[in-house]
Amino acid sequence: MKNQRPRRQDAASAKPPFKPGNERPKPPAWVHLYGLHAVCAALENPDRRPGMLFFDQKKEEALRPNLEPILERHHNPPPLQATSAQHMGTLVPDGAPHQGVVLKTRPLENADFKAVCARLSEQTGLVVVLDQVTDPQNVGAIIRSAVAFGAQALVTTDRNAPFETGALARAAVGGVDHLPWARVTNLADALNALGETGAVLMGLDGSDEAEDIFVPPKQRRVLVLGAEGKGLREKTRETVDVLMRLPTDPAFPHLNVSAAAAAALMLLRV
């Protein structure tokens, strides 16, 4: 391992003036979570505000062992609605495998970014940052891996990042209820703030200028991933401490962003 690594640029970017239409995007008022893992994780999360739990009346006996203990200890269990398989299908995207259960719930509140920085400053750990990764399935899969490998939080931009949806939550296998998710307006500023915690900022990148991935001696780490195809934006590349690439076969380097995230998280786990 080399002793010297490129360091991040300290200059913060100037914030653009406010213009009408630049308001922060708002999440939907309600989301429909589906799939047993996602629904159970949501019901066990005290920060959730569930509205209605729908279940396929023909699957009640099969669902009871999973749902009944959670509902019995829930501080404010949602109303239950037994319904038909046909009606269940109208609550989710066409063909979505809901497993006979759908939870109508308020989406989770945005995590406090300052709290994310404070925790990383106080504890060694790893934070995942997504630079305009827009596909809900990919974001959900990244959240799943982040929880599995012990990440502290997820950070995305307000714009060009999906909100919580049923498809995203199912891809995360309930991970959205285990991982704080902070949305920020300016990613470069957020990266600089994370860098001030003493963390090394690592941008995953497939370009020739990137180094082979290495495990840094610092126990505070920030893994930054870019959009499928486009990769990291130029400003993000300038802001991170180091660009790193996975040791894929040069003849077939084709990992999607969620697979790349899983591989990097396994290597970088604190």
> Tens digits of per-residue pLDDT, 3-27?
344 444 444 444 455 454 556 788 8
CB 12 within 8 A of CB 67: no
Q: Indicate the DSSP class of residue 23.
A: S
Q: What is the mean pLDDT of residues 231-242?
A: 96
Residue 251: what pLDDT? 84
Direct distance between the N- and C-terminal alpha carbons of the chain, in angstroms, rounded to an integer: 18
Same domain, 151 and 195: yes
Percent of the chain with pLDDT strictly greater than 70: 91
Same domain, 127 and 100: no
Same domain, 61 and 125: no
Does 11 fall in a domain?
no
Does 83 fall in a domain?
yes
Q: Where does a domain end: 51, 85, 105?
A: 105
**Structure-derived torsion over alpha carbons of residues 144, 149, 155, 159, reported in degrees to the nearest 10:** -30
- Give alpha helix (H) positions in 58-186: 60-73, 85-90, 113-122, 136-148, 166-171
Same domain, 117 and 100: no
Does 127 fall in a domain?
yes
Same domain, 151 and 260: yes
Same domain, 99 and 141: no
Say how far apart CA 42 and CA 29 lie, in whole Å: 16
The two tokens of residue 118 are 């404070």
Q: Is the pLDDT of residue 165 over 90?
A: yes
Does 13 fall in a domain?
no
Q: Where does a domain end: 82, 105, 128?
A: 105
Q: What is the mean pLDDT of residues 182-191?
A: 98
Residue 21: what pLDDT? 53
The enclosing domain of 85 has a CATH number of 3.30.1330.30
Same domain, 141 and 44: no
Same domain, 196 and 247: yes
Does 24 fall in a domain?
no
The enclosing domain of 121 has a CATH number of 3.40.1280.10
> Tens digits of per-residue pLDDT, 41-87?
999 999 999 999 999 999 999 999 999 999 999 999 999 999 999 99
> Tens digits of per-residue pLDDT, 86-145?
999 999 999 899 999 999 999 999 999 999 999 999 999 999 999 999 999 999 999 999
Q: Where does a domain end: 105, 127, 160?
A: 105
Residue 221: what pLDDT? 98
Q: Please, what is the average pLDDT of the chain? A: 91
Does 15 fall in a domain?
no
Same domain, 88 and 179: no
Range of the domain at 175: 113-268
Same domain, 49 and 161: no
**Closest to 177 in 3D by CA, of 157, 155, 142, 147:** 147
Residue 256: what pLDDT? 93
Radius of gyration of the CA atoms of the chain, in A: 20
> Tens digits of per-residue pLDDT, 145-159?
999 999 999 999 999
> Tens digits of per-residue pLDDT, 212-223?
999 999 999 999
Residue 144: what pLDDT? 98
Does 26 fall in a domain?
no
Domain total for the chain? 2
